[in-house]
Amino acid sequence: MRLVLVGPPGAGKGTQAQFIAEHASVPKISTGDIFRANVSKGTPLGVQAKAYMDRGDLVPDDVTIEMVKLRLRENDASPGFLLDGFPRTVPQAEVLDDVLRESGTKLDVVLELVVDDDEVIRRLSGRRTCRTCNHIWHVDFDPPEVPGVCDIDDGELFQRDDDQAETIANRLTVYAGSTAPLVAYYASRGVLVGIDATGPVDDVTLRAIDALRSFGDG
């Protein structure tokens, strides 16, 4: 299955991606995770991406598209994949369509996680991520047993630099201007399904899996 998650920053894409990818037996490909790994290793790609990420702006399309093309060529992505955080612009979506068409495939489904801005701000302000396994926690909504320590592997939890109030505000503006148009883009192609992404994480996962069923999975 080839699927894409869309939704504003903080909608729960990374949280749900872990469960949905496991359910669909496909690799989870998160462009945000790939950029952050490059930033922490100090690669040329990371140095280039960091300034945009720190402001809450999008990394330019050419850089992002090249990175995703390389990742999609890896063997594990050939039977299917779940993209989290890509595409984020219509040009990125057009290139993805072209790449898939060239390999004789296409997207099966685009799952939109629908959450309002106030909830997104509450979620992003309390988000914590494990430095070693990348698991996503929330100080109030999904807290680890010991504050600051990941339940899964005892890794240190950190707050993302782009989860500060001013950066969150810019990311929401960027979402509305550049990424929200993807909803209409994919709806017109008949692959969009939207779900209410509020409520407990497990409830959202069940709604997501249910929605995917009508597109041939499960």
- Catalytic positions, please? 13, 88, 127, 160, 171
Q: Give yes or no for residue 32 binding ligand AMP (CB under 6 A).
A: yes
Helix, strand, coil tally for the chain in percent (to 5): 50, 15, 35
Q: Give yes or no for residue 11 binding ligand ADP (CB under 6 A).
A: yes
d(CA 63, CA 40): 18
Phi and psi at residue 86, to the nearest 5°: -145, 135
Q: Give yes or no for residue 31 binding ligand AMP (CB under 6 A).
A: yes
Is the four-CA dihedral 19, 22, 25, 29 of positive or negative sign?
A: positive
Q: Give yes or no for residue 134 binding ligand AMP (CB under 6 A).
A: no
In contact, 201 and 86? CB cutoff 8 Å:
no
Q: Give yes or no for residue 9 binding ligand AMP (CB under 6 A).
A: yes
Residues whose CB falls within 8 Å of the CB of residue 98, separated by 6 or more in sequence, listed in order: none
Amino acid at 103: S
Residue showing tokens 């920053």: 9
For residues 75 to 114, the per-residue mask of contacts with ligand AMP, x marking binding by CB under 6 A and - elsewhere, is ----------xxxx---x----------------------
Residue from 7, 171, 182, 197 in contact with ligand AMP (CB under 6 A):
171
Q: Which part of the chain contacts ligand AMP (CB under 6 A), choosing from 50-58, 72-80, 93-101, 184-192?
A: 50-58
Which parts of this chain interact with ligand ADP (CB under 6 A)?
7, 9-15, 123-124, 126-127, 136-138, 141-142, 199-201, 204
